[in-house]
Amino acid sequence: MKSFICRNKVRKINQAVKIRIYPNAEQRVQIEKTIGCSRFIYNCMLADKMEHYKKEKKMLRNTPASYKKEYPWLKEVDSLALANVQMHLESAFHKFFREPSAGFPRFKSKKSSRKSYTTNVVNGNIFLEGKYLKLPKMTAVRMKLHRPISEKWKLKSVTVSREPSGKYFASLLFCSENQAAKKRPAEKFIGIDFAMQGMCVFSTGERAEYPMFYRNTEKKLAREQRKLSRCQKGSQNYKKQKKRVALCHEKIRNQRKDFQHKLSAGLAENYDAVCVEDLDLKGMAGGLHFGKGVHDNGYGLFLSMLEYKLEERGKYLIKVDCYFASSKICSVCGKKKEELSLSDRIYCCECGNRMDRDVNAAVNIMNEGKRIFAECA
């Protein structure tokens, strides 16, 4: 994940590298303790803020340090991890006051909340050394670094997390200054139309052929979940089976991300501008009851990957309005059909054009993207 800030052709890049870490028994205890204390202090601070807001109608400016006298065991964990909890909670409150639709901050559950904590680099307290990562309050943790880290990159923060499968990861956030990629003239365009089957269709007539990893593993997943439901809660067999279910979900997620990274990298390398529809995927998943189909595709994540990869290369992602009638317009003569049902998979026009409905829509999206690009150029 990357963000770009352009200043006089020099940009600051925040780049995260996620690595697998292998803590020993003592280090695992310290990580779990830090995760638990972070959750505890978040809930304590939130409860006090809520009580103060009910009385004073103002947000309480409390800090983790004020709780250490009452709970001395909070001193055993990294203080910067607790400071980040305060920042996250205050940003959640500010977001609620700016956008009430975001919802009021909620308490973190011990069972269902994400198991992670974030700490910052101060005076070289966190660093990489060979095959080890040094973290505060513990000895160096063994890691697997899958890509070289440039010496020009400056480490800012680390987020340590534990997946439901029991694996530990560290997300390293680096900051570096790079010469801004020069925007090149767009010559090669491609249009992409979202599809329930295969994720998307291209204006070239090809399909992404997404393998529907979740759908293909659904029977196995259901079988493993049935076994879990028969186990006694809290028993060793329950814990083992819960881990098997988590590993199934993790494999599906990894397969999906691998496919999306390869597809987005190929498009960013071969085309100057990619034209897509600006769809409300959340509304499609809920309102039209296409939940599994839309979420299994991971189309939104694919678009975010594609956007930053095009940005890196000085290329363009052009978003066409979601109300643009891409399916109803003939890509040859431009005539618009008044009615077109979802069951009509072949687009037929009076001009003699006969082609796949999704390919026709992708060509229209590409043509509309070219028009938008010409206006903005």
| 218: annotated active-site residue | no
| 277: annotated active-site residue | yes
Residue reference for tokens 């990861």: 169
Q: Given the residues 272, 296, 358, 368, select the one marked as catalytic.
A: 358
State how far the Cα of 90 lies from the Cα of 46, in Å rounded to an integer: 9
Q: Dihedrals φ, ψ of 274, to 5°?
A: -115, 125
One-character DSSP codes across 298-327: THHHHHHHHHHHHHHTT-EEEEEPTTS-TT
H/E element holding 243?
helix 236-270
State how far the Cα of 189 lies from the Cα of 316, in Å rounded to an integer: 10
Q: Given the residues 277, 296, 307, 368, select the one marked as catalytic.
A: 277
Nearest to 28 by CA among 171, 235, 167, 172: 167
Give the burial class of 122: count Cβ atoms within 10 A of its Cβ; 0-12 exposed, 13-18 middle, 19 or more buried.
exposed
Q: Given the residues 78, 193, 224, 272, select the one marked as catalytic.
A: 193
| 206: annotated active-site residue | no
Tokens linked to 345? 């998979």
Residue reference for tokens 């809290």: 234
Catalytic machinery residues? 193, 277, 358
